[in-house]
A = this chain, B = another copy of it.
Amino acid sequence: MGLASTFAGAAWQRCTRWGSDLQLPIQPPAILDCSSLARRMRRVTASAIMELIKTTAGGRYISFASGLPDPALFPIEALAEITQDTLAKDGRAALQYGPAEGYPPLRAWVADTLRARGLSDATPDHVLITHGSQQALDLAARAFLDPEDTVLLETPSYLAALQIFDSFEARYTGVPLDNDGMDVARAEELVRTRRPKLIYTLPDFQNPTGITQSLARRQRLAELAAEHRVPLLEDDAYYDLRYEGAPLPPVTALARNPLAVYTGTFSKSIAPGLRVGYLYAQPELVKRLAHLKQITDLQAGSLNQRVVFRFCDRDLLAPQIQRLRCAYAARRDALLEALAGSLKSKAHWTRPAGGMFVWMTLPEHVDAAALLPEATRRGIVYVPGTSFHPGGEHRNTLRLNFVSEGEEAICAGAAILCETLNDAVA
């Protein structure tokens, strides 16, 4: 997956990379006097994935492109019943302003859950409720990053986290992944030479690769960050979506690091439209992050926090997660089988133990972005892998979401994908 590289500034070009291929609408000449915008805005642009999804939304594609969970699996009836009950019994508080830190019973519930994950000191004071884990990442970046600070991260990495770091004018130092996750020996070298201000990692079923970091790597990474006093930002959005194997402890749990921030969400397990996520950090840091949260939007929604809490408190979360695991595991298997059976070109791909994504690497000379128009002509959409690299390299890679569509569509779409790739590479 390429050598680690150091780059800065070029990241904002990512978003326009596919413009000509897909005939995205050309932006009209800016009437906006950009010199009036803050310097950070030079690197705040459209998300390539969002533009791709918008552009293809009208057509009838089998989509491997989105990051969306399957809405057919949302627990709509339970949420409706709980919302009704919450408004009837606690309506005034559920519609009023509340504390920036979050609804206290939900903070306590999350703390209990995180203790079970291995964050053994977790108390409600360790938890801040956010508008999805996206906001938790944004708050942490805002708290830690000055312009030109270096972020050490896996390459490829989560696009919307790159966009956050871009917006704080970060530089990057990238560490390649193998099947055990981030190459921690390389990370150690880079921590010494590049002195990053933040380490960002997705240990479970990484977006976009689906790779899970091994326990040994987690341990080394935790110690590395703690020893060098580097803030650690651990994004564990997919923790609940594990389809095989035993859960592993968070990196944050494996060494005492007062600057570690661990983020999680109910978007993957309950529903993203409620916008309820959280972060864990030491209480002193949670306080500082809560001040930022208050500035940003005062607090997470009072009603939605109560609904999520009651859903969890009624023990509905574990069976809901079980339901998702069964459905999504079958879809992952369908995709992997179809790829193994039909892909004749020399590609290789990951076999994720959870999450939502398979990552495919094509022969070096094949350009996944250049193939996308032909793929869409044949009826499928995927995301070219360049988007997930801060420097926009690795054009021979692509990301496949396997949870948005049912098994039948996945099999049909995989057949089209294999044909397209077989034809292109032949």
Residues of A within 8 A of B (CB): 28, 30-33, 36-41, 44-47, 50, 54, 67-69, 71-72, 74, 76, 79-80, 83-84, 87-88, 91-100, 130-132, 134-135, 138, 142-146, 149, 160, 163-164, 167-168, 197, 229, 231, 258-259, 267, 271-275, 282, 284-285, 287-288, 291-292, 294-304
Q: Is the CB of A38 within 8 A of B145?
A: yes
Q: Is the CB of B98 within 8 A of A229?
A: no
Q: Is the CB of A271 within 8 A of B96?
A: yes
A38 partner residues in chain B, CB cutoff 8 A: 142-146, 149, 168
Q: Is the CB of B259 within 8 A of A275?
A: no
Q: Is the CB of A76 within 8 A of B92?
A: yes
Contact for A258 among B32, B93, B134, CB less than 8 A: B32
CB A337 to nearest CB in B, in angstroms, measures 28
CB nearest to A75 among chain B residues? B95
A288 partner residues in chain B, CB cutoff 8 A: 32, 37, 41, 44
CB A397 to nearest CB in B, in angstroms, measures 23
Contact for A45 among B46, B149, B291, CB less than 8 A: B291
Q: Is the CB of A71 within 8 A of B92?
A: yes
* Further pairs besides A74-B96, A83-B83, A274-B301: 6, Cβ < 8 Å: A41-B143, A47-B291, A50-B100, A79-B91, A79-B95, A164-B295
A131 to B69, CA, bound (A): 23
A301 to B308, CA, bound (A): 13
A194 to B160, CA, bound (A): 37
A95 to B274, CA, bound (A): 6
Q: Is the CB of A295 within 8 A of B96?
A: no
CB nearest to A130 among chain B residues? B297
